[in-house]
Amino acid sequence: MSFTNGAFPEIRAIFLAQFHPDQGPIVRLSIPEDAVGTEKNSYADLGAIKSEDSRYRSDILSAESSTGFGAFIDDSAEVIELIKRPARSKAPADSNKIDFNSIQTLVIPKLQLFDRLVTVNTGNYKVMCYPLCIKGDNYVRNAFIFNMCFAFDIDADTKCYGPVVKRVGCLLRELEVTGKLLSNPEGTRPLLGMMRQLVNKLNEHGEYQIELDLKGLSQPMASTGISIKL
């Protein structure tokens, strides 16, 4: 019996988004591999950003122009509705895929949204993520921006996943700083293995424990243990 038959929502997909210095926001990896649609179109549907921190609302206001979304804010509500009107009335090419283009400015955002738990709705999915930026003169443009995103059914109650999403993001930041796991092409194999097991083990058992093999990436961290529990 799946662990998700209980009180916890099932992870439908997980994907790693990054800012590419030439291409802009991209989806580098995803599980399942075809879970995210990145075809360019003018469609962008209703979305919502959610934060446990009430100070987040002021950041949204200052970030409106950079995201292209208009904000309708009710101070008594926890959810901030963000609406981007489509240039044409056009649905995504495949409604079963996550429409990355409609949410990319929130997944790879301006600095106001870094280090904050973000939830955005798109199509049939609710995407929860924790965007991060690592600064350093060893990176192109002196920064490395990434976001490991978790996708759930649109009506799922994802509160229990907030700490998990944040922990995964912070863990990846640590692994990038110490071993270049994300920026080194050699990190693709261990990253895919980690993502695949995250989905399978959290869905089936509500916890995730793995010894991540980092040989060839970081001598001080040839392997590292990861433990996550709902």
Contacts for 6 with CB less than 8 Å, ≥ 6 apart: none
Return mean pLDDT, the chain: 76
Does 55 reside within a domain? yes
User: Is 204 a member of any domain?
Assistant: no
Task: For 43-79, write each residue's pLDDT tens digit.
Answer: 333 344 444 333 333 343 334 334 444 333 333 333 3
Q: Does residue 186 form part of some domain?
A: no
Is 209 inside any structural domain? no
Lowest mean pLDDT among 3-17, 56-70, 112-126, 158-172: 56-70
Which structure tokens are listed for 219?
């001598």
H or E element that contains 171: helix 162-179
pLDDT tens by residue, 71-82: 333 333 333 334
pLDDT reading at 126 higher than 90? yes
What's the number of domains the chain is made of? Answer: 1
Q: Please report whether residue 205 resides in a domain.
A: no
Q: How far apart are CA 80 and CA 178, in angstroms?
A: 36
Q: Helix, strand, coil proportions of the chain in percent (round to 5)?
A: 30, 30, 40
Please give the residue range of the domain that contains residue 62: 3-181
Segment 179-226, tens digit of pLDDT: 899 999 988 998 999 999 999 999 998 887 766 666 655 545 545 555
**Residue 187 lies inside a defined structural domain of this protein:** no
pLDDT given at position 97: 93
- Confirm whether 190 is domain-assigned: no
Query: pTM for the complete prediction?
Result: 0.76
- pLDDT value of position 95: 72
Residue 94 domain-assigned (yes or no): yes
